[in-house]
Structure formats: C-alpha cells, structure tokens
C-alpha cells in the first residue's frame, strides 16, 4: 500500500510517501536555525513552525513522489511521545486530511517508528534486538511484532543525544552537538582525560549518562583556571574522551542485552546517536563476534523522518487496522505499554 507519513513530535517537520518498502519521497524541514539563539528547542516556537510548515512539507512530499493525494491509501501520523504542541499540529493535520478524503488514519508511536526502521531498510525479521539511542531516549528493546516491544533496559537519567548536545554547549560548539563532538573527537586523544563508565558495575541493561557531563564540566573548568582558556587540542581531547565513554557504556550494555536475547534474527541500532561512526563500528564488531547480523540504517533514516512513521503506520494498519477520528495526541507514550497482553503477567 501507499502511505503518507507525517512527523512533528520534536524539532523536525517531516512528510514522506512510502509504497511497500520503497521510499518515494522523504522531506524533512528542520528548525535548527529557529532555535539556535536559545541554545535548545523552544516548545512554543516549535509548535508554531510545525503548524506553518506541515502544509508545504506534505505538498512537496506528494509532488516528489509523483503521487496525488487521491492515490494515497492511508495517512500515518506521529501521535506521541513528544512535545504536545507539535504532536497536536500533526495529528490535527492528519485528521483533517483523513476526514476530507475518507482515507484511513493511523496514529503511530514515534519510538515504534525508530524501532521498526531496520525492517524498512533491511527487511529484518521479528524478533530482533534494537538499541534505540536518540536525543530523548536510550533503551534496549526486543521487537516481536509491530506492536510487541519488551524493554530490557533504559537510561535512568539523560539520553546520550542530550549528553552530546550539552557537551557541545559546554565547549562552545554548534548544535546539534552529536555531529560537532564527533567531528572534534576524530582528531582527539581519548585517553588524555578521565571519564567514568557509569553503571557498568551494576548488573542488567540499565544505563546512565549524567555523570559524564559533570566530569566534562569539571575538567573544562580545571583547564580554564590553569591556562586561562581551552586550546583546540583540549577541545578535541575532551570530545574524544567523552565520546569514548558513551561508546564503551553502550557497547558493554549491548553485550549484556545480546546475552539475554534468544532466537533473535539480528541486532539493530536506531535513533539520532546511531549516526555516530565510532559507535556504529564498535557495535558492529560486537555483533560480528557473536555471528549476529548487524543493521545500522542510513543516517537520514536514523534521525527523525516521516518515512519511518509511514512504515510503522503500514505495519500497524496491516496488523490491527486504522484509528478513528477520536485519535488523541499522547505526549507520554511508553513503547512497551502498547502491548500489555504480550508482556503482562499470566500470558
């Protein structure tokens, strides 16, 4: 089927047209410039920009795909989790389109979009293990079906993407922080500064990242007081040390998650931080050593996009049908609460 997908849960406004597993078009209008002066995403500004840009994104996506609205079979939209204003803009737009055309409406969990991406890109079969690592989330999920997720562990404080962004801010590097820090880390010495490896002493797959930011701040302030400022080499070495700590924690916890995952067809990584090359390479090595196929989607499908929403919508539509116009926006919507029957006690 041909699905129009809409995404507006954070700071990207996106629309895409998907036919089967073929992405006919995927348009992303990011708001980085709008929020730059504020050092972070401002919910009010984001909501207004989504409302303004959704129209043109949809039009562009349909045009690029060469598919008029009449040829679309269903409309999928992110219904949460995320910033309420943005999610509402998308849901209202999708409801309007659905009401006007009579096409089925499908409310999609944004995290399900990320978590199902390895099926879209590589046709990975259920069940598989995925590390979802983004600006707002960090969790290990076992995926048994389009609506069957079980969480093996998650961060108890910051998400790695958030930590990358804060680190960049503390070092005066541009946002989004992940790509800036990765760029500087390439020329840095990861052993020069000491960073902790939080929670590795604790059993299980939960993670923690807030201590890394504190370690960074302390070492930055020490350098500033010793030498009056930061040299370019200091920035590179701090970035390298910080990135190595995040990588090591994610790799070790991935090793444990793989250990307790039976019968999986593969190990995948998704979310914006999955764009990090050093992390991807280390996770691939880990997976290879255990003879488990490793899937890392192309960068453009790791960060927020609407193709993943269209795909997750198609999978949900096939397994449980459409939503109706009472679909509501859910700012909080934990993925593993979607399938109580699959996870709950006694079943």
Q: Which residues are annotated as a binding site for Fe cation?
A: 110, 114, 304
Span near ligand ATP by CB under 6 A; candidates 143-151, 177-185, 281-289, 324-332? 177-185
Q: Does 271 bind ligand ATP (CB under 6 A)?
A: yes
Which of Fe ion, ligand ATP, none is residue 140 near (CB under 5 to 8 Å by kind)?
A: none
Question: Which residue, 46 or 97, has its beta carbon nearer to ligand ATP?
Answer: 46
To Fe ion, the closest distance from the beta carbon of 114 in angstroms equals: 6
Give the whole-angstrom CA distance, residue 78 versus residue 287.
31
Which of 272, 297, 323, 329 forms a contact with ligand ATP (CB under 6 A)?
Answer: 272
Q: Does 136 bind ligand ATP (CB under 6 A)?
A: yes
Give the whole-angstrom CA distance, residue 280 versus residue 267.
12
Q: Does 90 bind ligand ATP (CB under 6 A)?
A: no
Q: Which residues are annotated as a binding site?
A: 110, 114, 132-136, 165, 178, 182, 276, 304
| Site residues (CB under 6 A) for ligand ATP, limited to 285-304 | 303-304
Q: Does 273 bind ligand ATP (CB under 6 A)?
A: yes
Which of 304, 315, 323, 336 forms a contact with Fe ion (CB under 5 A)?
Answer: 304
Q: Does 10 bind ligand ATP (CB under 6 A)?
A: yes
Strands 148-154 and 138-145: antiparallel
To ligand ATP, the closest distance from the beta carbon of 250 in angstroms equals: 11
Question: Which residue, 104 or 107, has its beta carbon nearer to Fe ion?
Answer: 107
To ligand ATP, the closest distance from the beta carbon of 83 in angstroms equals: 9
Question: Which residue, 97 or 132, has its beta carbon nearer to Fe ion?
Answer: 132
Q: Which residues are annotated as a binding site for substrate?
A: 132-136, 165, 178, 182, 276
3-state secondary structure the chain: CEEEEEECCCCEEEEEEEECCEEEEEEEEECHHHHHHHCCCCHHHHHHHHHHHHHHHHHHHHHHHCCCHHHCCEEEEEEECCCHHHHHHHHHHHHHHHHHHCCCEEEEEHHHHHHHHHHHHHCCCCCEEEEEECCCCEEEEEEEECCEEEEEEEECCCCHHHHHHHHHHHCCCCCCHHHHHHHHHCCCCCCCCCCCCCCCCCCCCCECCHHHHHHHHHHHHHHHHHHCCCCHHHHHHHHHHHHHHHHHHHHHHHHHHHHCCCCCCCEEEECHHHHCHHHHHHHHHHHHHCCCCEECCCHHHHCCCCHHHHHHHHHHHHHHCCECCCCCCCCCCCHHHCCHHHHCCCC
Question: Which residue, 7 or 237, has its beta carbon nearer to ligand ATP?
Answer: 7
Q: Does 177 bind ligand ATP (CB under 6 A)?
A: yes
Total site size for ligand ATP, rule CB under 6 A: 23
The residues of the shown chain that bind ligand ATP, judged by CB under 6 A, are 10, 82, 110, 134-137, 161-162, 164-165, 176-179, 182, 271-273, 275-276, 303-304
The residues of the shown chain that bind Fe ion, judged by CB under 5 A, are 134, 304
């Amino acid at each position: 089927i041909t699905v129009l997908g809409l995404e507006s849960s954070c700071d990207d406004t996106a629309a895409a047209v998907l036919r089967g597993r073929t992405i006919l078009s995927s348009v992303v209008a990011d708001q980085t410039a709008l929020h730059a002066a504020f050092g972070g995403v401002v919910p009010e500004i984001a909501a207004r920009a989504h409302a303004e840009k959704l129209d043109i994104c949809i039009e562009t996506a349909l045009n690029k795909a060469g598919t008029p609205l009449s040829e679309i079979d269903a409309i999928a939209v992110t219904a949460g989790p995320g910033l309420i204003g943005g999610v509402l803009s998308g849901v209202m737009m999708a409801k309007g389109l659905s009401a006007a055309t009579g096409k089925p409406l499908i409310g999609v969990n944004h995290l399900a979009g990320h978590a199902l991406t390895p099926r879209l890109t590589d046709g990975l079969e259920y069940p598989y293990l995925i590390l979802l690592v983004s600006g707002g989330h960090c969790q290990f999920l076992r995926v048994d079906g389009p609506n069957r997720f079980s969480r093996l562990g998650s961060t108890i404080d910051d998400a790695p993407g958030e930590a990358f962004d804060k680190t960049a801010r503390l070092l005066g590097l541009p946002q989004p922080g992940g790509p800036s820090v990765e760029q500087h880390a390439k020329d840095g010495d990861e052993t020069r500064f000491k960073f902790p490896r939080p929670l590795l002493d604790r059993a299980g797959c939960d993670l923690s990242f807030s201590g890394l930011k504190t370690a960074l701040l302390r070492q930055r302030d020490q350098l500033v007081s010793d030498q009056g400022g930061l040299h370019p080499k200091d920035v590179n070495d701090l970035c390298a040390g910080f990135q190595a700590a995040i990588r090591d924690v994610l790799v070790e916890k991935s090793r444990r998650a793989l250990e307790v995952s039976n019968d999986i067809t593969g190990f995948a990584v998704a979310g914006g931080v999955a764009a990090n090359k050093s992390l991807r390479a280390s996770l691939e090595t880990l997976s290879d050593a255990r003879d488990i196929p490793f899937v890392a989607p192309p960068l453009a499908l790791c960060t927020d996009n609407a193709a993943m929403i269209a795909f997750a919508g198609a999978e949900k539509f096939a397994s449980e049908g459409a939503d109706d116009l009472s679909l509501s926006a859910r700012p909080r919507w934990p993925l593993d609460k979607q399938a109580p029957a699959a996870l709950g006690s006694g079943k």
